[in-house]
Structure 1
Amino acid sequence: MPLRLRKFIGTILIICLVILYAILATTIASAYLGTSPWWVHLLYFLLSGILWILPAMLIIKWMAGPIRK
């Protein structure tokens, strides 16, 4: 697969990932954290704000393609 096509597909995947992840994280927060103390909100949004990076890293690694020697 050409590198330009791989980067285009990866960019679309990352955009979809961020949108779906934001909707999911907000839905979970609205459903379960309504009456929780402030520190639970802080921990949840800290962890959920960092957690999306893991699948994004895999997509970026795929976008870079195989290592050429």
Structure 2
Amino acid sequence: MTPSWRKPAGMFIIMALLTLWTVLAVSIVDALAGPAWIDAILYIIAGFAWLWVLPMKRLLRWMELGVWKK
């Protein structure tokens, strides 16, 4: 059995998306410049959005099975 190229490619895509998402979240929270507790809530919301809004499930499925859809 030969290793799939999708897993390393998917890993680099995930790292690039995570970096982009982090820079975007920090930029937005810094621009709002609220109290620390509001900043914490915004970071938590951004973290959940990373899991639910971005296509992480589809990307992980593609890495394992080679298909995007269910």
Q: Same fold (TM over 0.5)?
A: yes
In the comparison of the two structures, how many residue pairs are matched?
64
Q: Aligned pair in 2 of structure 1 residues 3, 60: CA closer, same or farther (>3 Å)?
A: farther
Which letter maps to 1:37? P
Q: Which runs of 5+ in 1 are unaligned?
A: none
Q: Deviations over 1:26-63 (max 9, x none)?
A: 0111111x1x2344223211111122123222211111
Q: Within the alignment, does 1:20 sit opposite 2:20 as a pair?
A: yes
Q: How does 1:46-57 map to 2 (within 5 A)?
A: 46-54=44-52, 55-57=55-57
User: Taking structure 1 as the reference length, what is the TM-score of the superposition?
Assistant: 0.74
Which letter maps to 2:6? R
Which letter maps to 2:28? I
Task: Considering fraction of residues, name the structure with more helix.
Answer: 1
User: For the aligned residues, what is the CA RMSD?
Assistant: 2.2
Q: Which runs of 5+ in 2 are unaligned?
A: none
Q: Aligned pair in 2 of structure 1 residues 20, 66: CA closer, same or farther (>3 Å)?
A: closer
Aligned to 1:45: 43
Shift, 1:66, TM fit:
5.0
User: Taking structure 2 as the reference length, what is the TM-score of the superposition?
Assistant: 0.73
